[in-house]
Structure formats: structure tokens, C-alpha cells
Amino acid sequence: MSLTMYNSTVPALKRMLSSLASILGKSAEHAASKKIDPSVFINARLFPDMFPLSRQIQIATDLAKGCAARLGGVDIPRFEDDETSFDELKARIAKTIAFLDSFEEQQIDGSEERDVVLQLHETRLEFKGQDYLHNWVLPNFYFHAITAYNILRHNGVAIGKKDFLGA
């Protein structure tokens, strides 16, 4: 299999999202076994000025669905950012994976030179598809995924590198 835009996006994003869902499941089990209110984990942060776990998952899923949609030339589905439980966060991940599953390879392959414009508050970012993927999406996606992992690990959930990397 050659490295294509599709192979660089959908499979990698789905694998990490699946790992995050598994980690959230283990975190829910940990909270139940230790009799800890799950909201302690959902609202946990690594540092006061960082986003909590829930927002880390929301951003990771937004990056994944936004990437596939922009490179595939379709509208980005809008999810409300209102998850307050492990089950709701896992459902958001499942919706994102279902959206990624809706893409055929040919929708994303060939998008290396597609114009991608992001409007982030007052900042406008312009990319070509390949630069968008490699220099924006993947670094940001993995940053938020590992931050979610680190929040849970820091709060005592028994997870490790194998959990993060997935099957």
C-alpha cells in the first residue's frame, strides 16, 4: 500500500480515536471501582490554564472530522460541545468514527493541493491540503489526544503506552 492522503488521514485518525474511546472506558471502570465521581476526571486539567479532559476529546474529534471533511470536499458535521460523562464522550468519538467511515478513498486522495482555509477567531490560516494535514491537523490532533491520555494517567487511571497506541 502506498502512502496516500486517505491512508494518512482516516486510518490514523480512527485508530487513535478508538484508543481514546478504550481509554475512556478504562477510566470509567477506574472511577467506579474507586468510587470517584466521574466528573472529577471529565473536568480534570493538567494545569489550570489548560482545557479539561472533555474539551481535549472535543477538540480531537473536531480536528478529525474537520480534516476528512475539508480534504474530502464535504460539509463538516456540527457536534454540540456538551458532553459531561464518559459515555457521552465515547458517543462523540463513535459519531466521529462513523463520519470518517463514510469516506471513500477517492474523496480524499488527490487533495494534496486542495486549498484549505481556517478562520480561527481573528486569524486566517491558508494551507494546501498536504500542508494542512501534516503541519496542522496531525500535530494538533495528537497533542489533544496525548493530553487527554496524560490527564487520565496523572489522575491515577492504570493506562500505559500500549493503551495510547491501541491494537
Per-residue confidence of the chain (167 residues) as pLDDT tens digits? Answer: 688 999 999 999 999 999 999 999 999 999 999 999 999 999 999 999 999 999 999 999 999 999 999 999 999 999 999 999 999 999 999 999 999 999 999 999 999 999 999 999 999 999 999 999 999 999 999 999 999 999 999 999 999 999 999 87
Domain that holds residue 94: 5-165
**Res 28: pLDDT:** 98
Nearest one of 132, 144, 150 to 41, comparing CA atoms: 150
Class of residue 82 by CB neighbours under 10 A (exposed 0-12, middle 13-18, buried 19+): exposed
Please count the structural domains in the chain: 1
Residues 100 and 13: beta-carbon distance below 8 Å: yes
Rg over CA atoms, the chain = 16
What does the pLDDT read at residue 1? 61
Q: Which of 54, 41, 26 is nearest to 160 (CA)?
A: 26
Q: Burial of 120 by CB count in 10 Å (0-12 exposed, 13-18 middle, 19+ buried)?
A: exposed
User: Which CATH number goes with the domain that contains 42?
Assistant: 1.20.120.450
Instruction: Write the CA distances from 141 to 32, 81, 94, 106, 120, integer angstroms.
Output: 29, 17, 16, 23, 16
Looking at residue 2, its pLDDT comes to: 80
From residue 109, give the alpha-carbon distance in Å to each of 10, 40, 71. Answer: 11, 42, 8
Give the chain's length: 167
